Amino acid sequence: ASGAYGVSIDDVQPEMRRVAKMMNFGVIYGLSAHGLSQRSGMERRDAQAFIDAYFGRFERVAQWIEETKESTKEQGYAETLMGRRRYLPEINSRNFQRRNAAERMAVNMPVQGTAADVMKRAMIELDEALRKRELRSRMLLQVHDELIFEVPSEEIDSLADILREIMPAALDLVVPLNIEVKSARNWRDLEPLQVG
């Protein structure tokens, strides 16, 4: 959001963050200026300027998108960083709509698929850690990139330490996988749990 709007991180407003997040994911998957303007409420020319600025700032993204489409056309599948494949035979279709849909799936797969792989690996390792330490905390639910636990009060700090150790290490990447741990007795009162 900071880079997209040309403001300092401290000056980023929630609406800026929302639009930038939509932009970041949407543009990678082929969101047009028309689509961005409809979703964000901005003028179409401003949406196009936003997209142009995005690709200007992150030049390698457009190249990666094209490389991903081409490799999928050649191989017939897209792949996550962990090697899971999604076969996309329609990537070479003569039908524009089918081919276009397969191209979007090809670009989506490495990103969303790898995120899912990372979550699954983290969940397995967290389950093993909870059993090994004989904690009563239980993993209840996964929602996209979040895990929900039921935790006895006396185990909150221990579980937070385990989460901070295991989740960022689920896949060795150049960029860090940062996590935020929140705790509360109910959804309304969720607040970040401070380290230490």
Q: Candidates 3.90.79.10, 3.30.70.370, 3.30.930.10, 3.20.20.150; correct CATH number of 117-192?
A: 3.30.70.370
Q: How is the chain split into domains, by residue range?
A: 1-57, 117-192
pLDDT digits (tens, 9 = 90+) for 11-47: 888 888 877 787 788 888 788 899 988 988 889 998 8
pLDDT digits (tens, 9 = 90+) for 104-119: 999 999 999 999 999 9
Which residues share a beta bridge with 182?
192
pLDDT digits (tens, 9 = 90+) for 41-76: 889 998 898 888 888 888 899 999 999 999 999 999
Q: Phi first, then psi: what are they for 139, rounded to 5°?
A: -75, 125
HEC-encoded secondary structure of 152-195:
CHHHHHHHHHHHHHHHHHCCCCCCCCCCCCEECCCHHHCEECCC
What global pTM score does this model have? 0.82
